[in-house]
Structure 1
Amino acid sequence: MIAVIGPVEPDLLAAWVRHYRWLGIERFLIAFHFPDHVPDVRRHQLQAASRELGIIPTGTSAGPWHEHINTQLRDALRNRAGAGWHLLADADEFQQYPAPLSDVIAQAEKTGHRVVGGLMLDRVAASGRLTGWQPEDGLDLAYPLGGHLTHRLLHGDPRKIVLARHDVALASGNHRAPGHQPDTDHICAVHHFKWRSGILDDLRRRVRHFTTGTWQEHTPAVRDEASRLLAHVRQHSGVINTSDPRFAARRVSLDRMPDSWPAEARSIVTAWRPHTPTGQDQRQ
């Protein structure tokens, strides 16, 4: 497991580690990065939670969250991990596979693929509110709906590289592996639990810091996506409009992959194109 983790709640980190251990992950290489606004007590709580989970962070850094920071930390972790297959996930991403990881990797090797692809399935509360959650109840209960906000509302790239050979270079955010294409008939579901309590403040901070140059960006894409979500909730009285048919929000679960997922994921992954200011799609 390779992951760069920001100031998430310790309970989310614990749920994340349990999920990936259940998938079969035994070795976690994680690095923490804390922006300047995060108080010391919160940093210490998260680091302590990691140690209680039996994971010693490979590194911890602090300061502005420039767009290149995540990539630099991720690549340093990958260099330390060594040869083999690397699983990559953010702390709010819970991957779901149709088969055990060993079988998924064996299938990729059999077909000559050096990466395995995933597609974000954005998880939201039934009410559309950006609420908190109770560890004893779990994420599935708090955020029972899964839909396609990332690309249909934010115009972001919903594709993920979830598994990659050690020598395959990855683009920022693990969205692409230049020169390598995943098998579109075997796309993993990436349950994306980003839309929780506190996210609106994070998005406002992101827009402000990238706009002023406090945080460096390569393109305005990240803050544009944040701005679209903020505009949407302003238009809908502070909630995500889960009834919008574009989002295809329906009840899903980490225990069972949606029956329609293979065809659904393939159609989105093969048709997705980056958004342009003119509203026209272009091929990458």
Structure 2
Amino acid sequence: MNLVTVCGHNTTMLYHMLRHYQPNVKNFFVNIYANYEDDPIIEEATSICRELGIEPHKVWIEEPFNWDKVTEIYNETISLKPDEWWVVADDDELQVYSKPIEEIVEECEENGWEFVRGGFIDRIGEGGDFPKITKESNVWKEMPNAGFFRYPLSRAEANKVTLLKGKHGVVSGQHFIQFDNGDTSWGDYHPLCYPIEKNFTQVHHFKWDYSVLQRLKEVSSSKLHEAFSHEYKKMLSAIEYLDYKLDLNEREFMFERVESPDYKQYRKWKPLTKKILKIGGLI
């Protein structure tokens, strides 16, 4: 099993993310996205990787927040092993599956399925706060509230491709498969997709720690079309309006307390799955 990720801007969650996947992943392809030759992100990410026995795959020197370039990096890396399976995850995404991932891959091989879908569960700290995360943190306990607030606040796409055969690529944000003929997996159920009723991967999104507030401000001010700055502006405005604290009792946010990577612990997953699939045009 291979995993591809891109680490850029900061390394807050990288250590926790890599440790989460180590029991199931043999080969890690960590791409470091830097903005200049002496960018501190290079040394920071390399140090974290090596502490965990992982050698970074490649360092890229690119302009900040160019998500189209990030997509190119994902697809170029995935294409290195077109006949093998890849976990695709940003460095703040901790995926949880309904069954052991090797069982899903085995079923896919037996039935000709070539990718697995999932959707976001947004994580936030105690009381709806944006906590400061360190390497010593237990992120599941320090960001124990699992819900769905990014889409209601900014209309950001909530679907994700979490596992795929390397012969395929992904669209920006890894939300859908990009096929060679120009089509994507957006829309109705696709015959190459692992059945959603058997598994719709939970993508626990630990993006929402203290460091995200500065990142939202920086991306919001970006002039690059590829930065999707309008979406980040919406999110920042919503968070500012809420006085930098999310209301855990807001029904639309579907919060529950989830303190471990257990697929069954988030009891609202079935209704949230339907909501996410509707967003992606899948039902």
Q: Which category describes the TM-score, using the shorter chain as reference length? A: 0.7 to 0.9
Aligned to 2:181: none
TM-score (norm 1): 0.85
CA apart distance, 1:14: 1.9
Q: How does 1:75-154 map to 2 (within 5 A)?
A: 75-154=75-154
Match of 1:277 in 2: none
Q: How does 1:38-57 map to 2 (within 5 A)?
A: 40-57=39-56
CA distance in 2, matches of 1:143, 1:262: 18
- CA contact under 8 A between 1:8 and 1:91: conserved in structure 2? no
* Matched-pair contact (CA < 8 Å) for 2:200–2:273: yes
Give secondary structure in 1 for the equivalent of 2:31.
strand
Give distance in 1, aligned partners of 2:269 and 2:127: 27
Contact 1:67/1:216 (8 A) holds in 2 = no
Question: Which of 242, 258, 262 matches 1:256?
Answer: 262
Which deviates more, 228-237 or 117-126? 228-237
Partner of 2:33: 33
Listed as ranges, the matches of 1:146-165 within 5 Å are 146-165=146-165
State how far apart, in whole Å, the 1-side matches of 2:135 and 2:210 are. Answer: 14
Measured after TM superposition, the shift of residue 182 of structure 1 is: 4.6
**Is residue 225 from structure 1 mapped to residue 231 from structure 2 by the alignment?**
yes
Name the structure 1 match of 2:206: 193
Letter in 2 for 1:14: Y
SS at match of 1:15: helix
8 A Cα contact 2:216 2:233, kept in partner: yes
- Residue 278 of structure 1 corresponds to none
Per-residue deviation, 1:261 = 5.5
> Residue 68 and residue 137 in structure 1: after superposition, are their counterparts in 2 closer, same or farther (change >3 A)?
closer
Shift of 1:111: 4.3
| Aligned amino acid, residue 158 of structure 1 | A
CA distance in 2, matches of 1:118, 1:89: 11
Q: 1:259 to 1:13 in 2, by over 3 A?
A: closer
Shift of 1:3: 1.1
The match for 2:10 is 8
Question: Is the CA contact 1:86–1:166 (under 8 Å) kept in the aligned structure 2?
Answer: yes
Q: Percent identity?
A: 20
Distance 2:9 2:42 in 1: 7
Which stretch of structure 1 is more off in the superposition, 59-68 or 265-274?
265-274
* Structure 2 stretches lacking a partner, 5+ long: 178-183
Q: Which amino acid aligns with 2:172?
A: S
Matches within 5 A, 1:165-204: 165-177=165-177, 178-179=184-185, 180=190, 181-185=193-197, 186-204=199-217
Whole-Å separation in 2 of the counterparts to 1:110 and 1:82: 18
Name 1:60's counterpart in structure 2: 59
Is the CA contact 2:34–2:41 (under 8 Å) kept in the aligned structure 1? Answer: no
**Aligned-residue CA RMSD in angstroms?**
2.4
Distance in 1, Cα, partners of 2:31 & 2:19: 18
Contact kept, 8 Å, 1:149 with 1:247, in 2: the verdict is yes
Structure 1: stretches of 5+ with no match in the other structure:
275-282
Q: State the one-letter code of the partner of 2:20.
A: H
Q: Aligned partner of 1:59: which letter?
A: K
| Aligned AA (2:271) | E
